[in-house]
Amino acid sequence: MAGEIQLNSTTMATESSGTITLSNVNSATNRTNLGLGSMATQNANAVALTGGSLTGTEIDLKSSGTSIYKSDGTTAVLSESGGVVTLTNTIIKNIPVFKAQLSTNQFTTSGVETKLILSDEVFDSHNFFDATTNYRFQPTIAGYYKFDATVFINGSPSAFYLIFYKSESPFNQGATDFAGYYSNGIIGSTIIELNGSTDYVELYASQTSANGFYNSSTFKSYLTGYLISGT
């Protein structure tokens, strides 16, 4: 077939070198009739996703300059450049972190493991630390948490222990021996896996001085922690 065919009062079919061209065609209407959405008008190298979701799709961050943006498109939350993947504060701020310390000196009984009353909450990003009742860290996000603690004591102990408790059981302990010294401190750290529901962490200490107390003045006894890896 060669030449032109009048299809209706407004549409003409023209053939040239095996190609048929329709004039006065409503492209949007035809896409709708064919069940094609707006993706049909986008080039493969310039696709914009403005709705829906990606499931089971690999996103390549190996190419320099690749970024993942917030839903409103204003800020990149994950980006890659030169082989380095960077998280913005939008993601980093969702990592639980806290610090709690003694607000008053806490007197103890010699040789008795005592939980520190950490009622001075310096910061607590997710409100996972209870600084009013149980003085414990109990997150609702499962994962591995890094904990650091320092306990200062007055009372010339012959032995001095710092103990991390996980859900009422001793988990890790640090010890020092400062016989004859009136004021000293001990530093401890550990990594504890918490299930995000029932698990919690408390700070205990034990000393052998008859009149010792854990210090909250110049050198404050404290516990701090943060999530390092989810499970």
Domain encompassing residue 194: 97-230
- Reported for 130-139, long-range contacts at CB under 8 A and 24+ positions apart, including other chains, are 131/100, 134/200, 134/202, 135/100, 135/202, 136/200, 136/201, 136/202, 137/98, 137/100, 137/200, 137/201, 137/202, 137/223, 137/225, 138/194, 138/199, 138/200, 138/201, 139/96, 139/194, 139/196, 139/227
**pLDDT of 216 over the 90 cut:** no
Higher pLDDT, 199 or 12: 199
**Dmax over Cα atoms in the chain, in whole Å?**
111
How many Å apart are CA 150 and CA 153, to the nearest integer?
10
Residues 200 and 112 grouped into a single domain:
yes
Distance CA 115, CA 166 (A): 12
* pLDDT: which is higher, 53 or 92: 53
Q: What is the pTM of this model?
A: 0.62
Neighbours of 228 (CB within 10 A): 11
| Predicted pLDDT at 180 | 43
Indicate whether 131 and 168 sit together in one domain. Answer: yes
Q: Is the pLDDT at 200 greater than 90, yes or no? A: yes
Within 10 angstroms of residue 83's Cβ, the number of other Cβ atoms is: 8
Q: How far apart are CA 127 and CA 217, in angstroms?
A: 25
- For residues 230 and 217, the model is more confident at 230
Is the domain of 185 the same as that of 116?
A: yes
Question: What phi-psi label fits residue 47: left (phi over 0), alpha (psi between -120 and 50 degrees) or beta?
Answer: beta
pLDDT at 178: 47
CB-CB contact of 157 with 209 (8 Å): yes
Give me the number of domains the chain comprises.
3
Phi and psi based region of residue 128 (left: phi greater than 0; alpha: psi -120 to 50; beta: remaining): alpha
Run of H or E residues at 28: helix 27-33
Together in a domain, 203 and 118: yes
pLDDT classification of 9: cutoffs 50, 70, 90: low
Query: 108 and 17 in one domain?
Result: no
Residues 18 and 115 in one domain: no
Q: Are residues 67 and 103 in the same domain?
A: no
pLDDT surpassing 60 at residue 156:
yes
User: Do 215 and 105 meet the contact criterion of CB atoms below 8 Å apart?
Assistant: yes
Instruction: Give yes or no for residue 67 having a pLDDT over 70.
Output: no
The per-residue pLDDT of the chain, averaged, comes to 77
125 and 220 co-located in one domain: yes
| Model pLDDT, residue 181 | 44
Q: Are residues 133 and 158 in the same domain?
A: yes
